[in-house]
Amino acid sequence: MDATEWDARYAETELAWGVEPNRFLAPEVDGLEPGRALDLAAGEGRNALWLAEQGWTVTAVDFSSVGIDKARRIAAERKVDVTWIVHDVVTFEVEPGAFDLVIVFYLHIAPIDMKAVLAHATEALNQGGTLLIVGHDRANLASGVGGPQDPAILHDTEEITAELGALVIEKAQRVTRPVEGSERDAIDTLVKAVKP
Could you tell me the pLDDT band of residue 2, with boundaries at 50, 70 and 90?
Answer: confident
Q: Is the pLDDT confidence value at 113 over 80?
A: yes
Q: Of 160, 170, 100, whose CA–CA distance to 136 is shortest?
A: 160
pLDDT digits (tens, 9 = 90+) for 74-96: 999 999 999 999 999 999 999 99
Are the CB atoms for 55 and 28 separated by under 8 Å? no
Query: Can you tell me the distance from the alpha carbon of 2 to that of 19, in angstroms, rounded to the nearest whole number?
Result: 23
pLDDT digits (tens, 9 = 90+) for 141-185: 999 999 999 999 999 999 999 999 989 999 999 999 999 899 999
Beta bridge mates, 67: none
The domain spanning residue 170 has which CATH number?
Answer: 3.40.50.150
Q: Of 192, 173, 177, 180, whose CA–CA distance to 22 is shortest?
A: 177
Domains in the chain: how many in total?
1
Global pTM value = 0.94
Domain that holds residue 153: 3-195
Are the CB atoms for 48 and 67 separated by under 8 Å? no
Query: Can you tell me the distance from the alpha carbon of 177 to that of 93, in angstroms, rounded to the nearest whole number?
Result: 33
Q: For position 33, what pLDDT does the model report?
A: 98
